[in-house]
Chains A and B, each alone.
Chain A
């Protein structure tokens, strides 16, 4: 592929990424927010308000990097932090660019790199985490850049360049750790597992027949695991107190190990049973994510193919860059596998949800893209009908991806949008009641939206609850969205048949339970 054509294709991909980001922002007219995004916004507002990275009420336990970046951008642009969070979805284009750079270095082929970067845009479980305004957009950008520098370092010939790359790598690694120490540690764990894999590979008979070249010898950064974990330790133990507190709140060694090595994060939702209630049906869910699973399978198949080559002909049969990709794949895949096993076995005391799929996508996509270089795929693509079919498939995959990542009400039950009238009702409740228990929603969404809109300084006096309660709540706010969502998910709303309806704005109704004892208010 000519450079010009490659550049044009890259621009087209960036345009596609920007349009996807625009779709994300406009799908609900701007009236949508995700829980993690709310918290990150509040962490940033906390930094701005308290003038400290460790703000009093809202400090992100895993790292200050992303909230601090938001504060910096807000100060630079004059925009509010929520605005930056909202517009920041356009960062998807930067991720595409970073991915292209990294993949070009790893695959040593521009068109495969473009194809791999394109594959990212049809994987909704990757895009959701990038678009939803959480730290992962910058964390994984930094992760990609670290991988890119590692692959560049391998080929650097001048000591000065090597030194610059090493320094930059550690700076990026530190930035990544400060973004999220426990996600940062996963990339270090990847490196550790990769080194282990390389050691095993070198024991193979075919490997022993060939002395490794200097470039090959450098194809896994040996010093990274040790130095990296020292950086994580320094960050957790000495740099950022909330990270240390979080680490020590984990009650079991298993939890601590999982957080440290698998980058897990506490989550109340069950990872696997969640699918059953979150989507209108399981087939729909599978259909929406079929492209993602196809890419994952293709990546795995490519890895098996390369593994076969390594076993038969030794690692030297692959280019050093491909070897690096192979090792990275092993590293990330091993963490995904361990995480799934830990999740399913219930080894984690605090129900930590596996969050490794996002970084795994970053290596499974280029691995899948390597099929492009095979004669069989090349021959297939020479047929116009196959190209048309692929084009149609890609268009459908993008649309499916859009529906999935936005939790579209056409297909999903976990809605991320909200209505202004709903929030007016919630604000009314908040200002007219104090020290009460108020049922707000089927999940945490309404409360998160309230927190987002009211900002860091809001300290509710009421206790807001959601979902099924062991004791019937005395104050209940039910909006049309909540009602429809309950109907859709076949969930039972709180019993309000004998309650007094004391507020109604057309969209939301507030109910108060009559009192039956002198202690009720």
Chain B
């Protein structure tokens, strides 16, 4: 009993001492995590801005008191207007922070490098439940503190640049501000301080600014009196919740992440950017590159944590090392010759919910010449201002634009719609390094999505509603693709090269032909020679709207209808603000409910009436625009039923294939096979004099005098020397359209002088060679002259840089002096060897 009383008394005394010393122990939320505070001033007082020193320690499991997992040291000197907190995590080689306790102090048993140094400019941490977010934070060590860094929770190890930062070394510098003391920060600016290679494309500046309010719940983490710490989590904030930024793995005692404080993506509106380039230049002006700006808007005004307009830019100044491939080690070999940007502009026709209805994406060369203040005026940036940015994009002309309509099939994305960036065409093409580009990237699209591209015209991005298919289109689009169900795709064509699409062809995706811009620079681009609709495989259904006629071709019939229609029901720009977004919604509302069925294209004709030629069992193919009209091939099978008005011919149309042309009136001629003719310009196939080992261009024209278009023509050029040795200059596959001259060129470097024969052969790929060979060969004999070598006198005088006589004189003089020197040395060498100044060591020793 006495012992029990003594023990109870001792416990009471110890408790009193501890309380007197300001020691408090609490079980933090979460299993197995507890904290202990030591200090002369209580944590409540420290949190509210009292002067003094205190230490907050966190423990996991049954760790002894001198082995915490994390330690926060508070310090607010007397008279100071700011409060400081230094966070220490477990140093390398230990699994705890080595501390020892004084009466009301905590000290470290060894010198430790802090993980975080935080200064509250308010001088307090929490007051009346409001958290101070006027903070300057220095992050040290391998802590994921900026976008582009990383932490892998599976391996519990840092990744990317974070892994390169030694414990205690500077990693990032962060400024966060909440000027109105709302407890929800306004902006968050981060700059990379890690000593990483300049050649690596790490983001060196992150910025995020809250530009409207979002419903937000505050999470006070593991320590409500100092609510900056959370047990586990990632870098991004989640919508509707503001988590403490210091993410700790308490088991390992490591600060793993200093998360976003102002979130970029997960709130209604934010103005942000990620720049590889940093730090700010003179006068605090930031010439940011990469994702600048990255802007999020809630045009509905009713957002619940998600934006409904996102503008994600990628901008690079001319010659920026990251302009061609921002992920490349050591920067790109070639850099952008011009300042350029791509801007992804995705919007939702409803309140934001991570899903999207439309996107335009522009690529162009607009300079950033702004001085937009950021971070409360601490810095300026050369990018457009947040409020004006959507209008800036929509009002400017862009040479390359793509458009996506998700047709109600959007995936979830916090960055908008990724499909069909204009960049996919290849930067080499946009920078002028390449004459041609491939449209391969636009041969596929997310199932259900509809996409269009405009790559040949510099104009602002505008949309219009087509009365033919009742859908939004990109004005000036050169083509497009719609991924339908069941492996079907709808290809959209602009055969006339005007502002409006005029061809729709539904076909099986597997049979989709690859449409390429011409490989030969001499071949005109699509605007002057539009691509023909595919002949093979046979499309299921097609409609063309050309010069007041609708041409329909389906499995059962072909129809030509003369109609009156407007190319666009209305034109509209992408929404840039709440008013235009509302107007856009209202304008589109009638058309989003009932849309023409892509699987029954014949029904599209119902909206149009006029004189009609209907051919049951007929097909229309090879539709293309001509200089003043259009042409197509009409095939009438035996037994076909021809009804209605014969719009195309005065004579009755019997079974067979006809080349039908329209140039104000129709002409129908029975089809004839392709007839190729290769010829050279009047001056010959060679562009200049043929010289040995000098590049030469061989240029010929391929004409097709038949009435059938030849889709695939193989053109091969060969050079044969006098000895009969032949060298193939190259082979190309081209399309030879009926009645169109197609220039083809080859490069030739004559290997030696003498007479050569240049032979160019064109063959229709689908016909037997014997059928076309006779008229498809061109041959020309040329004399190749030898390359000129410098003469001896030219070489001696270095092409007249120095007169020869003095040079030879100098050379001779040198030879004489060298001879004289040698003579003297040889004589000396011939003399008996003088006694050495030094003896071999063993002689000395003896």
Contacts and interface: CB of A to CB of B under 8 A. Distances in A.
Given A319-B841, A419-B801, A497-B687, A492 B816 contact: no
B827 to A, nearest CB: 7
B828 A419 contact: no
Contact of B432 (A118, A211, A492, A520): A520
Contacts of B816: 395
B396 interface: no
B817 A19 contact: yes
A69 interface: no
A387 B833 contact: no
A474 interface: yes
A319 B836 contact: yes
B801 A319 contact: no
Interface stretch (A1-9, A79-87, A337-345, A423-431): A1-9
A377 B831 CA distance: 11
Contacts of B828: 1, 5, 9, 111, 114
Interface in B683-721: 686-688, 693-697
B583 to A, nearest CB: 32
A417 interface: yes
B338 A435 contact: yes
A115 B335 contact: no
Given A399-B815, A488-B789, A518-B456, A410 B829 contact: no
Contact of B334 (A318, A410, A463, A496): A463
A398 B840 contact: no
Interface string B807-846: 1001101111111111111111111111011111110110
A378 B833 contact: yes
Nearest to B822: A394
Contacts of B432: 474, 515, 517, 519-521
Interface stretch (B481-489, B620-628, B791-799): B791-799
Contacts of B842: 210, 313-314, 316-317
B818 A394 contact: yes
A34 interface: no
Given A1-B831, A490-B693, A417 B798 contact: yes
Interface string A369-409: 00011000110011000110011111111110010000011
Contacts of B840: 316-319
A257 interface: no
B216 interface: no
A378 B829 contact: yes
Contacts of B823: 387, 391
B458 interface: yes
Given A23-B814, A487-B788, A493-B695, A381 B830 contact: yes
A292 to B, nearest CB: 15
Interface string B563-582: 00000000000000000000
A143 B694 CA distance: 48
A359 interface: no
A320 B432 CA distance: 70
A352 B819 CA distance: 38
Contact of A518 (B335, B399, B799, B819): B399
B802 A28 contact: yes
Interface stretch (A10-18, A54-62, A282-290, A450-458): A10-18
B669 interface: no
A191 B89 CA distance: 48
A402 B796 CA distance: 13
B802 A109 contact: no
B437 to A, nearest CB: 8
Given A320-B838, A435-B337, A410 B814 contact: no
A495 B693 CA distance: 11
Nearest to B698: A497
Contacts of A408: 795
A387 B838 contact: no
B818 A398 contact: yes
A313 B820 CA distance: 39
Given A9-B824, A390-B826, A487 B693 contact: yes
Contacts of B104: none
Contacts of A125: none
Contact of B834 (A1, A31, A115, A516): A1
A19 B810 CA distance: 8
Given A320-B841, A394-B818, A519 B431 contact: yes
Contacts of B839: 319
Contact of A519 (B399, B799, B817): B399
A9 B318 CA distance: 62
A494 interface: yes
B836 A108 contact: yes
A297 B688 CA distance: 53
A463 B337 contact: yes
Contacts of B749: 492
Contacts of A498: 687, 697, 745
B787 interface: yes
Contacts of B845: 210-211, 213, 316
A316 B845 CA distance: 9
B798 A315 contact: no
B747 interface: yes
B821 A9 contact: yes
B700 to A, nearest CB: 14
B821 A26 contact: no
Interface in A471-521: 471, 474, 480-481, 484, 486-488, 490-498, 515-521
Interface of A: 1, 5, 8-9, 12-13, 15-16, 19-20, 22-23, 26-29, 31, 108-109, 111, 114-115, 118, 121-122, 210-213, 215-216, 248, 313-321, 323, 372-373, 377-378, 381-382, 386-387, 390-399, 402, 408-410, 417, 419, 435-437, 461, 463, 471, 474, 480-481, 484, 486-488, 490-498, 515-521
Given A1-B831, A419-B801, 9 more contacts: A12-B824, A15-B817, A27-B802, A29-B801, A108-B838, A381-B830, A419-B799, A435-B319, A492-B749
24 contacts: A20-B814, A29-B801, A31-B801, A111-B828, A114-B828, A118-B822, A319-B838, A378-B831, A382-B830, A391-B826, A410-B795, A410-B796, A417-B798, A437-B334, A463-B319, A474-B432, A484-B789, A487-B787, A488-B789, A495-B697, A496-B695, A498-B745, A517-B432, A519-B432
Shortest 10 CB-CB distances between A and B: which pairs? A495-B695, A394-B822, A520-B432, A381-B830, A395-B815, A398-B818, A316-B841, A316-B842, A409-B795, A108-B838
Interface of B: 197, 318-319, 334-335, 337-338, 399, 428-435, 456, 458, 521-522, 525, 686-688, 693-697, 745, 747, 749, 787-790, 792, 794-796, 798-799, 801-802, 806-807, 810-811, 813-834, 836-842, 844-845
